[in-house]
A = this chain, B = another copy of it.
């Protein structure tokens, strides 16, 4: 009974799912503004009427898509955190993971939203809490990575954010400077710098 009693609901969820995925794909491939409701509906194999039935306004659809993106990101980070707890991931590998994250679809989708959020106070307000959750998850993953280092958690946090900002900046630059070798080099250097910062060989006042 419960099974057939909700056949329609299941169908509805599937449609929403396809719409959200199509939205992310469109924004990623064409950009925030070029992703029209028409294109999204077509890509999801759904009529535009159906799209507007599930998401009365474009903004609602985009926001739902964004929450989905970050949730997926969080899930990925949790996996990484697990592998770190297992001690099956090193700092070097964590850096590689971060760079993959900031040079792929996830990041460029974020970038579209960030750029848009800068000009849309409402969107920005809605995204800030979601971003907070995201960083909280990253902190957890990182805490595992640093568990054996000499740094306390606040210092380790600084080092994490240094790393992430570096990768983020590299991701942005990659748009107009497509030179994989260049980024490879920066990543490698950073992988060698990180242990130095974590080792605690530096003055205590370093992070004051």
Contact = CB atoms under 8 A, between A and B. Distances in A.
Contacts of A111: 115, 118, 172
Q: In the assembly, how many copies of this chain are there? A: 2
A41 B31 CA distance: 26
Nearest to A202: B196
A59 interface: no
Main secondary structure of the interface of A (DSSP, over half): helix
Given A31-B119, A176-B114, A158 B170 contact: no
A200 to B, nearest CB: 14
Contacts of A114: 172, 175-176
Nearest to A155: B189
Contact of A176 (B30, B128, B165, B196): B128
Interface in A83-135: 108, 111-112, 114-120, 124, 127-128, 131, 135
A95 to B, nearest CB: 13
A192 interface: yes
A164 B169 contact: yes
A167 interface: yes
Give the contact-size bracket for chain A. 35 or more
Given A31-B116, A115-B31, A168 B158 contact: no
Which of A112, A168, A196 gathers the greatest number of chain B CB atoms within 10 Å?
A: A168
Contact of A172 (B116, B162, B168, B177): B168
A124 B173 contact: no
Contact of A193 (B31, B108, B185, B197): B197
Nearest to A115: B115
A166 interface: yes
A41 to B, nearest CB: 20
A55 interface: no
A117 B34 CA distance: 13
10 contacts: A30-B119, A31-B118, A114-B176, A117-B175, A124-B175, A131-B177, A164-B169, A165-B170, A167-B169, A189-B206
